[in-house]
A and B are shown apart, each in its own frame.
Chain A
Amino acid sequence: MNTTEPCAYLPHLLAAYSAVWLVLCGYLAVLWKRERRLRAELDELQESRSASVDVRKPG
């Protein structure tokens, strides 16, 4: 292969860089969703724990 055209293979370049950003953004989205789920579960557990302590208190 020998290219002198300035824009030859531009679609390949764009496809490769789009793929890099898609993978990185996808991974960030997975991390963000995981953190949200964990924090929601943590809040839920903390609430249920404090509720069960209230029930067990005499009176």
Chain B
Amino acid sequence: MADRFRVVLAAGVLVGMLVALWMVFLYVPSEPRMGLAQRIFYFHVPAAVTAFIAFFIVFVASIAFLRTESCSWDRLASAAAELGTVFSLIVLITGPIWAKPVWGVYWRWEPRLTSMLVLFSLYVAYLMVRRYGTDARGAPRLAAVLGIVAFANVPLVYLSVNLWAAEQQLHPRRVELAPEMVGTLAMVTGVFVLLFVLLLDHGVALQKLAERLDDMREEVMLGEGPGPGSDPT
């Protein structure tokens, strides 16, 4: 991505975030039943949407990597998984803070909360395979398989409110929103997606840098082999 486009994107995220905060705190009307606590929704849901987009990219890039063995797909999957995990963490932190005033508890082992926690754990495992896998060729392949399998949990999280019995649910099955609420939600989601694109590009660039470093280390090690005057014994 060209540097100029990156700067424009970063400026867009900054301006968009300021507008989004204005909408969340000043423009959108309060929901009468939940009051101020409902405004957590405007960061909680966009974070979840962004995490799902990230995990979809991991899924597609992992399939492409297994088919082509191209490092660029592997880099994309790795950077997207890291970002997806960060946005999932935001969902898992803001959710319980919102749940306390609304449900009276921070956490209940209900379908959506549990499946979201499982999803987060799966991608933490993915990142651990990448970080601690000792086999330079095997670890990315294993991570790619995990990235494909873990994605099966994404539709499960989304559909969990309908798949399990109503008495087990705390999340509502249907949500009616005023037009201002829909606009605010769309705005924050758009800004989060832009932020995701910016950070994804940066993450991929850092991985390229790390690979270049590995190549140079190998070159230096080969160059430092036994010199012409050294004793072979």
Contacts and interface: CB of A to CB of B under 8 A. Distances in A.
Interface of A: 1-3, 5-10, 12-13, 15-17, 19-20, 23-24, 27, 31, 34-35, 38-39, 41-42, 45-46, 48-49, 52, 56
A9 B36 contact: yes
A19 B36 CA distance: 16
B90 interface: yes
Interface of B: 30, 32-37, 39-40, 43-44, 47, 86, 89-90, 93-94, 97-98, 100-102, 195, 199, 202-203, 206, 209-210, 212-213, 216-217, 219-220, 223-224, 227
What does DSSP make chain A's interface, helix, strand, loop or mixed?
helix
A16 B40 contact: yes
Given A13-B40, A24-B90, A31-B206, 7 more contacts: A2-B32, A9-B35, A15-B97, A19-B97, A23-B86, A45-B213, A52-B224
A49 B216 contact: yes
B34 A3 contact: yes
Nearest to B215: A45
B100 A12 contact: yes
25 contacts: A1-B33, A1-B101, A6-B36, A8-B35, A8-B36, A8-B37, A10-B36, A12-B97, A12-B98, A15-B97, A16-B40, A16-B43, A16-B98, A17-B43, A19-B90, A19-B93, A20-B90, A23-B89, A23-B93, A38-B206, A38-B210, A41-B213, A42-B212, A49-B220, A56-B227
